[in-house]
């Protein structure tokens, strides 16, 4: 499994190197601009979480789409490939969370003179009142832990979607690729607007289960742990039944 893990990590590291290199470049431009042109911001917020979420989701898709065929063709079993994928996701999630946390902290220090600019992190957005009670070090550590478990689940969502797409018959691949985003970003919002009571009930239930309503961090870690387990189980079934084309 070490060879498979080494291959996956070496193949995917370039994605994160490029991603964070772009963030550092944009940070450098912004920092130079702030020091060169004195601008008074009335209010605003900065967050790199959304871009990172897309990177993790797409990387999860790439892991299945590219690595499955390559490793199986080179004699690795599906079980070894899946174990290697889980280890890769775990390692990348931790590294990504640490790098994102350090990047957010760097941006926050840059904006110290701009009191109205808020740098939003995972813990600030989900547990704002709890974050205010924590000291800087503990808040930083908990933010990394929270970002890591969320990132791992995003990886697995992308991994599972790519596995489902891989196993679909050729004539269903295009409809699946079209219908999934249409359902998530068009049909689902329309249904929620038509039936707001059902949507509000579901959101309240989700906020309660995740511990957001009660500001209980233990519940959200438990929620993402269970979610990761379910996504992993579904992904393993997909890997086990996937044919090498």
47 φ/ψ sector (left φ>0, alpha ψ -120 to 50, else beta) = beta
pLDDT at position 51 is: 78
pLDDT at position 227 is: 94
pLDDT at position 73 is: 84
Enter the tokens of residue 69: 């065929």
CA distances from 162 to 18, 67, 170 (A): 22, 11, 14
CA distances from 155 to 13, 21, 25, 59, 63 (A): 14, 21, 25, 7, 9
pLDDT at position 116 is: 60
Sorted by where each begins, the domain ranges of the chain are 2-167+210-241
pLDDT at position 29 is: 81
- Distance in angstroms (rounded) separating the CA atoms of residues 167 and 80: 19
pLDDT one digit per residue (tens) for the chain, 245 residues: 888 888 898 888 888 888 888 888 887 887 776 666 655 555 556 667 777 888 888 888 888 878 888 888 888 888 999 999 999 999 999 988 888 888 888 877 776 555 566 777 787 778 777 767 776 678 888 888 989 999 999 999 999 999 998 888 888 888 888 888 888 888 888 888 888 888 888 888 888 888 888 888 889 999 999 999 999 999 999 988 877 76
Provide the residue count of the chain. Answer: 245
Contacts of 203 (CB under 8 A, 6+ apart): none
Task: Report DSSP state, residue 127.
Answer: -
pTM over 0.95: no
Closest to 64 (Cα-Cα) out of 83, 87, 82: 82
């Amino acid at each position: 499994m070490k060879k498979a893990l080494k291959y996956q990590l070496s193949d995917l590291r370039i994605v994160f190197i490029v991603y964070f290199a772009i963030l550092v470049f944009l940070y450098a431009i912004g920092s130079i601009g702030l020091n060169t042109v004195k601008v008074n911001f009335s209010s605003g917020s900065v967050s790199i979480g959304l871009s990172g979420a897309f990177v993790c989701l797409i990387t999860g898709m790439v892991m299945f789409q590219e690595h499955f065929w390559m490793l199986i063709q080179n004699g690795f079993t599906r079980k070894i490939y899946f174990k290697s994928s889980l280890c890769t996701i775990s390692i990348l999630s931790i590294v990504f969370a640490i790098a994102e946390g350090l990047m957010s902290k760097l941006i926050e220090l840059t904006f110290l003179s701009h009191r109205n600019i808020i740098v939003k992190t995972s813990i600030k957005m989900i547990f704002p009142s709890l974050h205010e009670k924590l000291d800087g070090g503990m808040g930083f550590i908990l933010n990394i832990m929270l970002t890591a478990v969320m990132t791992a689940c995003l990886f697995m969502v992308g991994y599972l979607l790519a596995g489902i797409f891989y196993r679909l018959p050729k004539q269903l691949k295009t409809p699946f690729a079209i219908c999934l985003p249409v359902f998530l970003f068009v049909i689902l919002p329309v249904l929620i607007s038509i039936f707001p009571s059902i949507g509000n009930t579901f959101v309240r239930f989700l906020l309660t289960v995740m511990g957001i309503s009660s500001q209980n961090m233990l519940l959200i870690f438990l929620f993402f742990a269970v979610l990761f387990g379910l996504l992993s189980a579904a992904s393993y079934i997909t890997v086990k039944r996937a044919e090498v084309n």
